[in-house]
């Protein structure tokens, strides 16, 4: 039996990387999937790979009105929303003294405010249904920090704070809220990292390699399924032991 039969999931940043891999797996496991992304061409290409009962929506997660409008469209198109995966994120790296204010604001707007916007738009619907599941994508750098990532680390630490707070706020409403903290995963984001830096990351990872997007998607599947029905407020590390 498929593990997500009958469930409807919104996956932000679903046109590539971890988001696309998760969408493919969720559809395979019986879910209907709505992809939120700013990249229309990316959405169209991803939908061809995902197949199944899936649909794409061009959404700027940093704009609450845009998010809310599209959440309502998903409810109209699919009937309801069971799962929200807050996966959309960007990097604009640089040392604090050299970081442009625009780069700080942009990363905050997408990674942190975007997570807030999507949850705020979906939560009333989930509360009305008396059930729901929100999963936020954080990062190991949100737990331990990282040189040159003041903005990114701050957002990912903030996402963990949101997760713990919402888990407490919504537990009695039937809504679970968890987070994942991936380590170094092979995605378009890490492809921009110089080879020498990537090797340093691999050397710091006890398992001696980078993770694959499917390995993150598999954990998201567990958290989205009823198998994790008594898990809330938790941040699950997917990092090959790098934080040991």
pTM over cut 0.85: yes
Which residues lie closer than 8 Å to 27 by C-beta, 6 or more apart?
Answer: 33, 50, 51, 52, 53, 54
CATH architecture of 8-234: 3-Layer(aba) Sandwich (3.40)
Which pLDDT score, from 0 to 100, does residue 187 have? 83
Q: Establish whether 80 is a catalytic residue.
A: no
Burial state string for 116-146 with b = 16 or more CB within 10 A and e = fewer than 16:
bbbbebbbebbeeeeebbbbbbbbbbbbeee
pLDDT(244) > 90? no
**Which of 66-70, 144-148, 190-194 has maximum average pLDDT?**
66-70
Burial state string for 52-79 with b = 16 or more CB within 10 A and e = fewer than 16:
eebebbebbbbebebbbebbeebbeebe
Lowest average pLDDT, out of 44-53, 71-80, 154-163, goes to 44-53
pLDDT(107) > 80? yes
pLDDT(188) > 80? no
Which pLDDT score, from 0 to 100, does residue 179 have? 98
> Residue range 181-209: average pLDDT?
86
Indicate the DSSP class of residue 152: H
Which pLDDT score, from 0 to 100, does residue 121 have? 98
Q: Are 52 and 33 in contact (CB under 8 A)?
A: yes
pLDDT(152) > 80? yes
At residue 227, φ and ψ (nearest 5 deg) are -65, -25
Pairing of strands 132-137, 54-58: unpaired
pLDDT(156) > 90? yes
Tokens 């469930």 sit on residue:
7
Name the active-site residue from 57, 80, 144, 152: 152
- Where along the chain do its domains lie? 8-234
> Residue range 16-34: average pLDDT?
97
3-state secondary structure of 51: coil
pLDDT band of residue 183 (cuts 50, 70, 90) is very high
Q: How many whole angstroms separate alpha carbon 20 and alpha carbon 131?
A: 25
């Amino acid at each position: 039996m498929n593990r997500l039969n009958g469930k409807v999931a919104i996956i932000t940043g679903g046109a590539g990387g971890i988001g696309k891999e998760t969408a493919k797996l969720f559809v395979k496991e019986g879910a209907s999937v709505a992809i939120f992304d700013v990249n229309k061409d990316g959405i169209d290409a991803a939908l061809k790979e995902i197949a199944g009962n899936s649909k794409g929506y061009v959404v700027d997660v940093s704009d609450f009105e845009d998010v809310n409008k599209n959440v309502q469209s998903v409810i109209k198109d699919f009937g309801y929303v069971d799962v929200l995966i807050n996966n959309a994120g960007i990097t604009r790296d640089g040392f604090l003294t050299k970081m442009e204010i625009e780069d700080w604001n942009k990363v905050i707007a997408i990674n942190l405010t975007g997570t807030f916007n999507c949850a705020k738009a979906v939560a009333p619907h989930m509360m009305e249904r008396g059930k729901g599941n929100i999963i936020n994508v954080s990062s190991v750098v949100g737990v331990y920090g990282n040189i040159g990532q003041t903005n990114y680390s701050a957002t990912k630490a903030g996402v963990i704070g949101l997760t713990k707070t919402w888990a407490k706020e919504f537990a009695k409403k039937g809504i679970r809220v968890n987070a994942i903290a991936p380590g170094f995963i092979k995605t378009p984001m890490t492809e921009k990292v110089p080879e020498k830096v990537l090797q340093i990351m691999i050397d710091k990872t006890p398992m001696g390699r980078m993770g694959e997007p499917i390995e993150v998607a598999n954990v998201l599947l567990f958290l989205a399924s009823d198998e994790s029905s008594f898990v809330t407020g938790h941040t699950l590390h997917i990092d090959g032991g790098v934080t040991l």
